Amino acid sequence: MSFLLVIIGLVLLVKSADYFVDGCSDIAKALGIPTLIIGLTIVSFGTSAPEAAISITASLKGDNAIVISNAIGSNICNLLLVLGVCGVAGKLVTKEKVVTRDYVYAIFAALIVLLAGSTRFYQGSSFISRTSGLLLLGFLCAYVYTLINDVLSNHKPVKKKKKEKMKISSFLFVIFGLAGIIIGSDMVVKNAQDIAEMFNISHSVVTISLIDIGTSLPELITSLVAVKKGETDLAIGNVVGSNIFNLLFVLALSAVISPVVFTTESLVDIIFMFIVTIIVYILILKNRNISKKEGIFLLSLYAVYLAYVFIR
């Protein structure tokens, strides 16, 4: 029953996040906010809503294992599983700006979290404080500002369209979407804890093996559709953007609510995430793409990581 409720919770989370984003986008359009800005802000935050909701709920419950495993494990899943599957499905090619700007931010974010996790670890008091969480959120604001500024500077002005009318349905989407996110995240966290206790395993094992794959499904589906349509640059851009938001928004916001304490297991996961981030960057930097062979390599790495998580 707990497994079933986790799956129901994940489905509710993802669908509710979609409705929430649609409602917010419609309201923003009615207020005359440009579509490009909506895409870079509301939609970007919306795709990280499931991870954010789970981490915030876990943070309020004081479950550090789920908070860290959700953010870090989701990034590992995106880099190895999502890009690996997409690489096997079709050659992934990316734009230069994703490599020179966005991925550099992703490495920077991973490095900051790694430093936060390793600082004073030998003293047994390593954690991301509320102050550090606010600092990470500040870096996210700087990244979003860079994106918006870049888009506006290269965007050709078009004839102003008539503002759309504010619809009651848009507000209902926001309200019910937000309610679904809250209910779904509570279902996922509560039942993940029950599963961990039932099998006498770490909460991080359930999070990495079940929740992270579930919350990464939207990125996987979106990226696969992009690959099939020949828009392969969107696949890598989608993963990179998601990873930045997972660290600078999801993990940071959780730390602001309640300081996130690091254990030996979580530090190993963070180190692995950083190494994988660098490996994928090297693969992309080499030819600006990820081939089928490299996709298989990434999937193999993910299988090894999952095996390690279960063994430990």
Range(s) of the domain holding residue 15:
2-311
Residue-wise pLDDT for 198-248, tens only, equals: 878 787 888 887 777 777 777 777 677 777 777 666 677 778 888 888 899
Percent of the chain with pLDDT over 90: 14
Q: Mean pLDDT across the stretch 280-287?
A: 85
Specify the residue for token string 């619809």: 167
Q: The CATH number of the domain where 13 resides is what?
A: 1.20.1420.30
Q: Mean pLDDT across the stretch 263-290?
A: 87
- Residue 269's closest CA among 56, 69, 82? 69
- Residue 145's closest CA among 266, 280, 248, 284? 248
CB neighbourhood size of 11 (10 A)? 14
What domain count does the chain have? 1
Question: What's the mean per-residue pLDDT of the chain?
Answer: 81
Residue-wise pLDDT for 116-161, tens only, equals: 777 766 556 677 888 889 999 999 999 888 877 877 776 665 555 5
Percent of the chain with pLDDT over 70: 88
pLDDT of residue 232: 65
Query: Which positions ≥6 away from 107 have C-beta within 8 Å?
Result: 277, 278, 281
Q: pTM, whole model, 2 decimals?
A: 0.81
Is pLDDT of 297 > 90?
Answer: yes
